[in-house]
Amino acid sequence: MNNIVAIVGRPNVGKSTFFNRLIQRREAIVDSVSGVTRDRNYGKSEWNGKEFSVIDTGGYIKGSDDIFEGEIRRQVELAIDEADVIIFVVDVEDGITPMDDEVAKLLRKVTKPVLLAVNKVDNAMRVDDAIEFYNLGLGEYYTIAGMSGSGTGELLDALTELLPEPEEVEEEEALPRFAVVGRPNAGKSSFINALIGEDRYIVTDIAGTTRDAIDTKYNRFGFEFNLVDTAGIRRKAKVKEDLEFYSVMRSVRAIEHSDICILMIDATRGFEGQDQSIFWLAEKNRKGVVILVNKWDLIEKDTMSTRDYEKRIREELQPFNDVPILFVSALTKQRLLKALETAVQVFENRKQRVATSKLNELMLPIIENNPPPALKGKYIKIKYCMQLPTPTPQFVFFCNLPQYVKEPYRRFIENKLRENYDFSGVPIDIYFRQK
């Protein structure tokens, strides 16, 4: 399942160093188009055969000493709401600071497991210094050095002990699970209310309401589906979370729990950084995506055509831009049925399996006419291909020198697949392997 681990602590204790160690630097994908590193605060990790997502809740409040207590509180609240396990990092060099005390106070009230990591324990002498952290009242602690990795193994052993056993390969879910995501005020609750005709998404401010993802089954307009509801989604309606980081991280659980993300953007604001981050979270998790440009009723149609608008969004989505984009209004209920229909279609696209014989019939001639460019005088021969029996589309191409196949050729193959099969809204993985 989707286990979420959150790292909390005041600035400069070494959270991001530890985070990077967990997700391994190679994961830090720099988006070649926009030039921004997009997974500074979120990544996937695995230990003892258990997979989990890691959120560095230090997020955007890095480094400053004049950090407000309110920010730390928000950071911890985010962790409490969204995580299954919380790792609280403190710094042995500084000892217990008043802010550590504040965080500990919040965490002592939590029923979720909290692991206390005393960081920067670079040598044996500092092991003794760590003893004072018992005073935080959180029990046992782990001494680590995020920089060298020392001690992190024991901490991760303890962490994975707390996570449930991995489930057997997930049964094919009969009904699509949709998560409606987007920045605050994009119109998510309005859309959901228009769709299911209830006001159940208007919720009261109850701290600690159930935080796990809940699926609610619906049958609307002839479509059956589950809507994913999480604390993160519910919360957004009431708390004004202006910081991009918080609202993006509040979608993590819903995205991970869904098959298809219905990403709502506000037409009057365009496709901005926050939308991009949420889109990227969905793509990284290999979820299907439909983009709804909402509040289209507010746009002057002579100044802005859907075609121009769509073109601009597609540029932002590069390289994964084979995604349905619909112009809707939750207010006037314009094209809501179409939106639902499209989401169901993307679900079907994501499930489709291409027969091996058909795939080879199609792809081998294409490859023959456009072979991968030779490298260092060596020719690459692709002999055979197949789709793997995985929940999301993955294709493997068997060849003699897989390491010589470069990104542009992988992209070429992906485009050919997309031209010939409907994978609209669905991320595809393509591997080259030695036969």
Q: Which residues are annotated as a binding site for GTP?
A: 9-16, 56-60, 119-122, 182-189, 229-233, 294-297
State yes or no: residue 59 binds ligand GDP (CB under 6 A): no
Q: Please, what's the b/e burial string for 322-333 (b: 16 or more CB within 10 A of its CB; e: otherwise)?
A: bbbbbbbbbeee
State yes or no: residue 151 binds ligand GDP (CB under 6 A): no
8 A C-beta contact, residue 144 and residue 18? yes
Stretch that binds ligand GDP, among 77-85, 166-174, 277-285, 289-297 (CB under 6 A): 289-297
Chain position carrying tokens 């014989």: 357
Nearer to ligand GDP, 185 or 360 (CB): 185
CA triplet 203, 209, 210: central angle to 5 degrees?
115
CB 351 to ligand GDP: min, Å: 28
Single-letter code of the amino acid located at 123:
N
Helices (H), 163-251: 188-196, 231-238, 244-249
State yes or no: residue 129 binds ligand GDP (CB under 6 A): no
State yes or no: residue 190 binds ligand GDP (CB under 6 A): yes
Among 53, 189, 230, 258, the residue binding ligand GDP under the rule CB under 6 A is: 189
Size of the site for ligand GDP (CB under 6 A): 34
Q: How far apart are CA 417 and CA 434, in angstroms?
A: 21
8 A C-beta contact, residue 109 and residue 136? no
CB 58 to ligand GDP: min, Å: 5
State yes or no: residue 147 binds ligand GDP (CB under 6 A): yes
CB 124 to ligand GDP: min, Å: 14
CB 198 to ligand GDP: min, Å: 14
Nearer to ligand GDP, 104 or 382 (CB): 104
State yes or no: residue 113 binds ligand GDP (CB under 6 A): no
Site string for ligand GDP, 213-252 (x = CB under 6 A): -----------------------xx---------------
State yes or no: residue 99 binds ligand GDP (CB under 6 A): no
Single-letter code of the amino acid located at 303:
T
Q: How far apart are CA 72 and CA 182, in angstroms?
A: 24
Give the annotated binding-site residues. Answer: 9-16, 56-60, 119-122, 182-189, 229-233, 294-297
State yes or no: residue 3 binds ligand GDP (CB under 6 A): no
CA distances from 199 to 46, 191, 196 (A): 39, 11, 9
Stretch that binds ligand GDP, among 293-301, 313-321, 341-349, 426-434 (CB under 6 A): 293-301
The residue ranges of DSSP E strands in 174-279, in sequence order, are 177-182, 214-220, 223-229, 260-266
> Any residues with CB less than 8 A from the CB of 408 and at least 6 apart, and which?
none
Cis peptide before 319 (omega within 30 of 0): yes
State yes or no: residue 331 binds ligand GDP (CB under 6 A): yes
Burial class, 148, CB count within 10 angstroms (exposed 0-12 / middle 13-18 / buried 19+): exposed
Residues that bind ligand GDP (CB under 6 A): 9, 11-17, 58, 62-63, 119-120, 122, 145-147, 182, 184-190, 236-237, 294-295, 297-298, 329-331
